[in-house]
C-alpha cells in the first residue's frame, strides 16, 4: 500500500496557519506594527515618539512635540500606504497622532 504524499509547508506558512487557527493573528499583526515603527519611520522620528500602539486597527502615535504632530499629519496617507504594503490590507486602517 502506498503512503499518502507528504505535504510540506514553509515555516512562515505554518506559523501563519497556527496564528489563524488560534485566533492570534490580529494581536500578532498589531505587535509587528509596533515593533516595526522605528524601521518604518526612521530613528529621528522614533526618538521623538513617546508611545505607539494599535487598537481596533487604528495606529495611535504619541509624539513629543506639537510641531512634529502637525508635520506627520501631512504624511499620514503615505504612511498608511507603507503599512498596507508592509503588513497587508486591513491591519492598520487609520493613524492618529497625539
- Which residue in the block uniquely carries the three cell numbers 503599512? 83
Q: What is the pLDDT of residues 49-84, one digit of tens each?
A: 999 999 999 999 999 999 999 999 999 999 999 999
Long-range contact set of residues 62-68: C-beta below 8 Å, sequence gap at least 24: 62/98, 63/97, 63/98
The pLDDT of residue 22: 75
Q: Which of 16, 18, 29, 49 is nearest to 90 (CA)?
A: 29
Which of 63, 22, 56 shows the shortest CA–CA distance to 41?
A: 63
Strand partners for 60: 53, 96
Q: Which residues contact 17 (CB under 8 A, 6 or more apart)?
A: 9
- Quote the pTM value: 0.77
Res 14: pLDDT: 81
- pLDDT in the model for residue 89: 87
Using pLDDT thresholds of 50, 70 and 90, give the confidence band for residue 12.
Answer: confident
93: confidence class by pLDDT, cuts 50, 70, 90: very high
pLDDT value at residue 2? 65
Q: Which tens digits make up the pLDDT trace of 28-55? A: 888 889 999 999 999 999 999 999 999 9
Amino acid at each position: 500500500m502506498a503512503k499518502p504524499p507528504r505535504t510540506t509547508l514553509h515555516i512562515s506558512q505554518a506559523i501563519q496557519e497556527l496564528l489563524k487557527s488560534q485566533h492570534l493573528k490580529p494581536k500578532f499583526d498589531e505587535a509587528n506594527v509596533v515593533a516595526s515603527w522605528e524601521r518604518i519611520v526612521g530613528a529621528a522620528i522614533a526618538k521623538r515618539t513617546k508611545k505607539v500602539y494599535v487598537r481596533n486597527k487604528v495606529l495611535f502615535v504619541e509624539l513629543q512635540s506639537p510641531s512634529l504632530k502637525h508635520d506627520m499629519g501631512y504624511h499620514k496617507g503615505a504612511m498608511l500606504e507603507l503599512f498596507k504594503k508592509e503588513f497587508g490590507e486591513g491591519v492598520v486602517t487609520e493613524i492618529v497622532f497625539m
